[in-house]
């Protein structure tokens, strides 16, 4: 369940959470004999500072309300002895900390809200507090959001362009804040509510095409010097970097595979035979987005791998955190009482910004406010599922 507003803790009847509150869901899990439940902690002040579609209700300076009215209340409910036999997996604050690396000044992609959240320390304060308080419970397993390879996959000797190591160092800086220890963090999650593929079977970023390695080609916008082209390789490398920054050697990774299948008629069946690097990559890649920075209601996407436990030694599980069929944001401005704005990246006619290389958004049209249901999108995800659905 997504706790995307304080009122969702108690069951507010909203389209995103319904009438069940946290205790209701936990009670239902117990009554069904389940041994695990997944909860998304998602209500930071100044939430999702680079995407208006998923802004929240808490203002950038309301960290105390976040702690006392939101996290403390969640901890109080989860600590009930009735739930002691439930393993509670908490996904903590998606689309937060990586923004403090990639979308702050002096970068061209900076936003005022991200600059504010970096300056006031609200994201670091909130995430560390949530992890520490939830981590004190014996049956909780905390996974902090770590973006995805198309967001923080860039490493560089110049710190100004090194998203990868800078992000890992930022995550490491949480240790010691608000009493958070490495033991409070079971792992990290990538690709939450995003579309990045698990693997690209037909090409590698360091592959030589046309006389040059693809990740060293300045004229290849899909790669754009990124060290990774898939979530498997990215999470394996990020885990190593996180351990080097103070996290326990047994941390695991989760990958959200709910919408990264990219099946359908456009899915390639083998590598391109072209010697032109751009053509080779475009004809070989599974990920069919126009650009990796496109995140809103991507047309052509499909359901991904079904949830499974430990598909790789460093991956604790493939999970479906984003419910397939729930919108990422409205295609146009829609009034709502959830604090969610209109982000042009959800408009299919939008020509882009520096965060997506000034490309078209690739979004579907006629979509509702984020978290609301779209039958049309769900049907497309079914049609383009990979592995296919019989």
What are the residue numbers of the active site?
95, 328
Distance CA 134, CA 88 (A): 10
Helix locations, the chain, DSSP H: 22-31, 63-65, 72-78, 99-102, 112-120, 122-135, 149-152, 163-172, 231-244, 277-284, 375-383
The span from the CA of 321 to the CA of 332, in Å, is 25
Residue 214 contacts residue 200 (beta carbons within 8 Å): no
Dist. CA 219–CA 224, nearest whole Å: 8
Using DSSP bridges, classify how beta strands 315-319 and 308-312 pair: parallel, antiparallel or unpaired: antiparallel
- Which of 225, 239, 242 has the alpha carbon at shortest distance from 166? 242
Q: Of all residues in the chain, what percent are helix, strand and coil, respectively (each to 5)?
A: 30, 15, 55
d(CA 218, CA 344) in angstroms, rounded, equals 28
Q: Quick one: DSSP state of residue 269?
A: S
What's 137's DSSP letter? Answer: S
DSSP states along 210-238? TTEEGGG-TT-TTTTT-S-SSHHHHHHHH
- Sign of the alpha-carbon dihedral angle for 325, 327, 330, 335: positive
Cα first-last separation, the chain? 27
Find out whether 352 and 291 touch, Cβ atoms under 8 Å: yes
Residues 162 and 206 sit within 8 Å (Cβ to Cβ): no
């Amino acid at each position: 369940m997504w706790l995307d507003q304080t009122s969702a803790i108690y069951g507010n009847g909203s389209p995103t959470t319904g009438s069940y509150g946290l205790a209701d869901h936990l009670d239902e899990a117990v009554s069904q004999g389940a041994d695990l439940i997944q909860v998304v902690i998602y209500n930071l002040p100044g939430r999702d500072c680079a995407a208006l579609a998923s802004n929240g209700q808490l203002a950038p300076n309301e960290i105390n309300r976040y702690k006392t009215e939101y996290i403390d209340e969640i901890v109080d409910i989860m600590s009930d002895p009735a739930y002691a036999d439930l393993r509670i997996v908490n996904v903590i604050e998606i689309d937060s900390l990586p923004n403090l690396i990639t979308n702050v000044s002096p970068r061209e992609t900076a936003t005022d809200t991200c600059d504010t959240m970096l300056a006031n320390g609200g994201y670091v304060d909130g995430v560390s507090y949530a992890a520490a308080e939830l981590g004190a419970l014996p049956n909780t397993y905390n996974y902090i959001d770590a973006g995805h390879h198309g967001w923080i996959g860039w490493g560089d000797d110049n710190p100004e362009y090194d998203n990868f190591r800078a992000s890992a160092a930022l995550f490491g800086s949480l240790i010691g804040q608000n009493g958070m220890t490495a033991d409070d963090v079971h792992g990290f999650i990538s690709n939450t509510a995003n579309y990045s593929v698990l693997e690209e079977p037909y090409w590698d970023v360091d592959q030589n095409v046309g006389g040059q390695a693809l990740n060293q080609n300045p004229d290849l916008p899909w790669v754009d010097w990124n060290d990774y082209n898939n979530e498997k390789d990215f999470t394996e490398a990020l885990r190593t970097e996180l351990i080097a920054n103070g996290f326990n050697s047994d941390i695991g990774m989760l990958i959200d595979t709910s919408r990264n299948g990219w099946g359908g008629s456009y899915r390639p069946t083998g590598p391109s035979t072209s010697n032109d690097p751009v053509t080779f990559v475009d004809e070989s890649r599974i990920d069919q987005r126009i650009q990796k920075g496109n995140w809103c209601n991507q047309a052509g996407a499909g359901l991904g791998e079904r949830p499974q436990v430990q598909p790789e030694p460093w991956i604790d599980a493939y999970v479906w955190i984003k419910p397939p069929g729930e919108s990422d944001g409205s295609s146009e401005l829609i009034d709502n009482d959830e604090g969610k704005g209109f982000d042009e990246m959800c408009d299919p006619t939008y020509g882009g910004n520096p965060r997506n290389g000034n490309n078209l958004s690739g979004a579907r049209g006629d979509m509702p406010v984020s978290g609301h249901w779209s039958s049309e999108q769900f049907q497309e995800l079914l049609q383009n599922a990979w592995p296919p659905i019989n």
